[in-house]
Amino acid sequence: MSIQHAITIQWEQGNNSLSQRDTFTGEAEANVSVSVPDSSTDFEVTLGIDVSEIKSIIIASDQNITVETNDGTTPDDTFTIEANNPLIWNVDSPAATPFSADITALFVTNSSGAAATFNVRCLVDATP
């Protein structure tokens, strides 16, 4: 069974607009949606992702947070996710994958003043 994710980018100025919609197909997903309490340090979210299989990924939050991969003390990667400004990457991105190692867990720090709704949506090709 195949699964599709679509990413749309849109630009607008007055009555002018441009948009680009890309659709990605894979066989599996690695998704999570959790509430991260305010004043959390290294709030652990278990999530397994083989980064070589990622077709598209979005990491989003409605509050400013820091996300570390695999370890809260010596992470493989660290990302600052601003409220409503997600990290988005897909296989068509001109930049290389932002992940340096497979992911076994994410460690989220939230000192925004409010609970954060933290979301990951990842499409993978289980048979690359």
pLDDT (tens digit, 9 = 90+) per residue, 56-73? Answer: 999 999 999 999 999 999
pLDDT, position 12: 96
- Picking from 116, 93, 107, the residue whose alpha carbon sits closest to that of residue 24 is 93
Average pLDDT over residues 13-25: 95
Average pLDDT over residues 40-59: 97
Contact yes or no for 61/81 (Cβ under 8 A): yes
41: tokens are 């340090």
Amino acid at 58: I
Q: Is the pLDDT of residue 120 over 90?
A: yes
pLDDT, position 33: 98
1.20.950, 2.60.120, 2.60.40, 3.30.70: CATH of 26-124: 2.60.120
Listed by start position, the domains of the chain span 26-124
pLDDT, position 126: 81
